[in-house]
Structure 1
Amino acid sequence: MKQHDKAPFSDTIWDERETWSRDRIESFQLDALRHQLQRVGQTSTHYRKVFADHGFQPGDFKSFADLRKLPFTRKSDYVAGLAAEPPFGNLAAVQPGEAVRVHFSSGTTAAPAPVLWTQADIDRWADLYARYLYAQGLRRGDVFQCMFNYAWFVGGLGATLAAQHLGALVIPASSGDTERQIDSIFHYGSRCVIGTPSFMAHMAEAAEKLGRDLTTSQVKMVCVGGEPGASIPGTRERIERQWGAKMFDCYGALECQPIGWDTALQLGPTLAEDFIYVEILHPDTQEPVADGERGVLVLTHLDKQACPLVRWWTGDMVVRDSGTAPDGRTHARLKGGVLGRADDMMIIRGVNLFPTAVEDIVRAFPGLSNEYLLVTDASVKDPKTGFLTGVKLRVEPASGEPSADLGERLSQRLREKLQVRFHVEVVPTGTLPRTVHKAKRVIHE
């Protein structure tokens, strides 16, 4: 796929697939799954064994329900596959000589895991990203400043390829040198910036300290990914106010790029249903849940070549809306984005609490900086059972000395909204860690 070789379907739609009827989407998915499962069963050592162990014959696949005869693929399976067939693992469905690129996980919970890509995978990736950037408002000739990290992180090159494919002028700035980033935004007239929510919040604070008003820049689109943020109302409102621009959620994962991104309507990430088949399952029973109900997102690639996944358990809690959007797009959306991770959920005296719910309140609370930290230590645990009885929350004022009752007022607001007891610690401005990449918001002391 050459740069600029594709014309948009319309003034607002990049690809006609975005407006397919639900029947056509499902027909396409069924046909694609038949071919994909056949190929995966032949070329991936891991899936060939999984299919055999479960008596699954790809040729017998007739309906979406048949897919549920197969087990989930989890991160632990991927890691085990790397050990079984180093260095690229037994889930790979191509030989290394057929791949043209490898990207790696961050390695925060295990050794960095490689994921292979063929040229077809990269072309598909770039076109899907371009589709979403177009839906958010990026156009040919716009200046696109990419502030995702390029060192090992998958997002930087993907966003760069997509913007180039669309025809934008790309500044590959990466995620360092904050003052130069700000200078570039004003000097070159960047219309769209992309990075993690943490870095966008950091940029806003830095610009204010430098006396630069980002709301007077030409930035109209703040695209974010890599961590929750854009779909959290409090975070979105704060960063949109600081930048004077609309903020868009760009949801993906190394193993599955992309999953879904916001459109200009900001109704929640629109799923790439011609690229992935989506299941939303109850976290305990693992049975399908209806639209509007929370469940874990499970994904199957429809045409990924190098490292295809079948029933990938993302661990992300979401709510699906399959209704047609007002702009005519028919692919389902994730209302509220990623609501939290099934394994990040804390249970405090019977109340389920996701860190994203705390962020929504903290980011909307007046007088606080962008930073916060949730702490679970002995002071908020039952000494006999070890169960959580509350949560410790560290925040800092936006500037200067905080009001004497800041912590008390925030604690009361959190208790009213979330029905959980919070021990709020107000620390001096600048105390909490800043990051230019993915922020760690929960620590165990």
Structure 2
Amino acid sequence: MPTTPDTRHDCETWAPEQIRDHQLAALRTQLTRLHADSAHYRRQWDDLGWHPSDLTDLDDLAALPCTGKADYQRSIDEHPPYGDFLATPRENLARLHFSSGTTGVPTPVGWTAEDLGRWADLYARAAHSQGVRPGDVYQCLFSFAWFVGGLGGTLGYTRLGATVIPGGSGDTERQLETLFRYGTTAVGGTPSFLLHLADRARDLGRPLTDSVVRHVMVGGEPGGQVPATRALIEREWGARCYDGYGSLEFQPTAWECAAQAGGHLAEDFAYAEVVDPVTRAPVPDGAPGVLVLTHLDKQACPLVRWWTGDVVVRDRTRCDCGRTHARLAGGVRGRADDMLVVRGVNVFPSAVENVVRHTVGDLAEFRVVLDPALADPGTGYPTALRVQVEAATGAELGDRLAAALRSELQVRAVVDIVAPGALPRTTHKARRVVRAGDREVPEVLHVP
């Protein structure tokens, strides 16, 4: 049932026991179907001696191994071009989207027509929870080419009844002209692109606070849950900023409501586990762990115990908005594989971003460089962070930022000040951690 301006889905206010009952019933149906229709899972479970009838409780799902990107890629390589995860005939596929292909051949994920309807409905629920209504003008600033971002927003806001402008993540000046000319009231995009637009709008003498945009939904990067970055977006756009979370494989998974208190998991769409990144045992609510997801009703390429690699904290307390689905407190804290261990301290790029924005300035561009010169020769782990930051001044600012990083994160930092504009920009996802030599190193104005 499509979301309407005056109602929300009944499932969003189910009691906890209703949520669990629904998930268990949906899982039994889904896993039985996968055993019959997915060659990958049938082979895996038969090899384990496990059958869907063995699932009598949600906790029983932990008996199955996690599925990761390497498993999915191997399936594509061995059974090209679609792999053997498909649980529907190829001719039932209505849509294919692809991974970025930055680490190999782009991998496809499919949707049936029913899946696309579900996708649109989830996005519509997200927009409705943030105050968007029929008659709003939504300008989608996520990328459209090949990837998954732009189409989800376009489908969902259309389902809700908004007027949709599929702008994409380029053509900056035309985006701004369109936004002002057609009275855009809601936008969606990555934090980095939205801040780029704000910067350019100011240069053109047309600050975005003069627009009628009132709803900003961000995703693709952790900035929406970085307090300093959220505050910056809200100030630059004169609008409330909401964080959304999803991936190529699970679109969308969670979104913030008007309370801005962490993204509500779509628990009628996916069953979520939060596990220790090493032992893979469940962690208690309130403790950080890796999010593991299982589709409850996807038809084309359902995934069971999908290892997202995203570190989250689950909060099951009731939200002020009245929705009962668990929330991701603080959003995605970082990627398990992006987490840096500096002398025993776990550091995520999003934490560095928060300190940089508070110390250097809201619009400061930065990156963390993994420098072998700052690594322990025995273990290879970094002993300090090297942070490159754009600024017009040098020594005093570098020293101040290094002190702030030590104070806030309890790690030593070496700060390089580089010229404004020296670091690479992106209209897609900002890359905050690079290895020395990965990219051209800009001229350093201040050497600590």
The TM-score bracket by the shorter chain reads over 0.9
Shift of 1:61: 1.5
| Residue 79 of structure 2: aligned partner | 85
Q: 2-side partners of 1:341 and 1:253: how far apart?
A: 13
Q: 2-side partners of 1:379 and 1:304: how far apart?
A: 47
The 5 Å alignment of 1:219-234 reads 219-234=213-228
Whichever residue aligns with residue 421 of structure 2, its letter is G
Whichever residue aligns with residue 325 of structure 1, its letter is C
| Residue 425 of structure 2: aligned partner | 434
Contact in 1 for aligned 2:394/2:417 (Cα 8 Å): no
**2:231 is the alignment partner of 1:237:** yes
Whichever residue aligns with residue 365 of structure 1, its letter is T
Deviations 1:333-355 (A, max 9, x none): 00000001111111111111111
| Residue 182 of structure 1: aligned partner | 176
| SS of the residue 1:258 aligns to | coil
Taking structure 1 as reference, are residues 171 and 95 closer, same or farther at Cα in structure 2, changes over 3 Å only? same
Deviations 1:32-58 (A, max 9, x none): 000000001111111001110111111
| Residue 396 of structure 2: aligned partner | 405
**2:22 is the alignment partner of 1:31:** no
- TM-score calculated relative to the size of structure 1: 0.96
Selected match of 1:211 from 199, 205, 212:
205
Q: 2-side partners of 1:50 and 1:101: how far apart?
A: 26
Q: Which moved further from structure 2: 379-388 or 186-195?
A: 379-388
Shift of 1:238: 1.2
Shift of 1:384: 4.6
Shift of 1:242: 1.1
Shift of 1:417: 0.4
**2:245 is the alignment partner of 1:251:** yes
Q: 1-side partners of 2:125 and 2:119: how far apart?
A: 10
Taking structure 1 as reference, are residues 367 and 301 closer, same or farther at Cα in structure 2, changes over 3 Å only? closer
| Residue 420 of structure 1: aligned partner | 411
Shift of 1:404: 4.6
| Residue 6 of structure 1: aligned partner | 2
Q: 1-side partners of 2:201 and 2:51: how far apart?
A: 58
Shift of 1:378: 2.4
Contact in 1 for aligned 2:232/2:362 (Cα 8 Å): no
Q: Which moved further from structure 2: 104-113 or 306-315?
A: 104-113
Q: 2-side partners of 1:85 and 1:281: how far apart?
A: 30
Deviations 1:70-128 (A, max 9, x none): 11001110001101211111111112101111000111222111001000000000001
- Aligned-residue Cα RMSD (Å) equals 1.3
Contact in 2 for aligned 1:231/1:338 (Cα 8 Å): yes
| Residue 48 of structure 2: aligned partner | 54
Contact in 1 for aligned 2:229/2:362 (Cα 8 Å): no
- List gaps (5 residues or longer) in structure 2: 437-448
Q: 2-side partners of 1:383 and 1:15: how far apart?
A: 56
**2:294 is the alignment partner of 1:303:** no
Contact in 1 for aligned 2:402/2:412 (Cα 8 Å): yes
Large movers: runs of 4+ above 3 Å: none
**2:261 is the alignment partner of 1:270:** no
| SS of the residue 2:366 aligns to | strand
- Number of residues paired by the alignment? 436
Whichever residue aligns with residue 417 of structure 2, its letter is V
Whichever residue aligns with residue 89 of structure 1, its letter is G
The 5 Å alignment of 1:93-172 reads 93-172=87-166
Shift of 1:366: 4.5
Contact in 2 for aligned 1:368/1:396 (Cα 8 Å): no
Shift of 1:6: 3.3
Q: 1-side partners of 2:257 and 2:333: how far apart?
A: 18
Taking structure 1 as reference, are residues 27 and 384 closer, same or farther at Cα in structure 2, changes over 3 Å only? closer
Q: 1-side partners of 2:393 and 2:214: how far apart?
A: 32
Whichever residue aligns with residue 66 of structure 2, its letter is F
Contact in 1 for aligned 2:198/2:236 (Cα 8 Å): yes
Whichever residue aligns with residue 331 of structure 1, its letter is H
Shift of 1:402: 2.5
Contact in 2 for aligned 1:235/1:364 (Cα 8 Å): no
Q: Which moved further from structure 2: 369-378 or 227-236?
A: 369-378
| Residue 371 of structure 2: aligned partner | 377
| SS of the residue 2:320 aligns to | coil
Shift of 1:188: 0.9
The 5 Å alignment of 1:307-326 reads 307-326=301-320
Shift of 1:403: 6.2
Contact in 1 for aligned 2:222/2:332 (Cα 8 Å): yes
Deviations 1:153-204 (A, max 9, x none): 1011111010110000001111111011111111111111111111011111
Contact in 1 for aligned 2:3/2:121 (Cα 8 Å): no
Q: 2-side partners of 1:384 and 1:50: how far apart?
A: 39
| Residue 353 of structure 1: aligned partner | 347
Taking structure 1 as reference, are residues 89 and 225 closer, same or farther at Cα in structure 2, changes over 3 Å only? same
Shift of 1:379: 2.5
Q: 1-side partners of 2:361 and 2:122: how far apart?
A: 39
| Residue 66 of structure 1: aligned partner | 60
Whichever residue aligns with residue 402 of structure 2, its letter is S
| SS of the residue 1:298 aligns to | strand
Deviations 1:397-422 (A, max 9, x none): 3xxx3265111111111110001111
Whichever residue aligns with residue 367 of structure 1, its letter is G
Contact in 1 for aligned 2:402/2:415 (Cα 8 Å): yes
- List gaps (5 residues or longer) in structure 1: none
Selected match of 2:190 from 182, 196, 201:
196
Q: 1-side partners of 2:17 and 2:78: how far apart?
A: 41
- TM-score calculated relative to the size of structure 2: 0.95
Q: Which moved further from structure 2: 113-122 or 226-235?
A: 226-235
Shift of 1:369: 2.7
Whichever residue aligns with residue 424 of structure 1, its letter is V
Q: 1-side partners of 2:380 and 2:61: how far apart?
A: 39
| Residue 340 of structure 1: aligned partner | 334
Whichever residue aligns with residue 56 of structure 1, its letter is W
| SS of the residue 1:337 aligns to | coil
**2:284 is the alignment partner of 1:290:** yes
Deviations 1:382-439 (A, max 9, x none): 3454321101111113xxx326511111111111000111111111111111110011
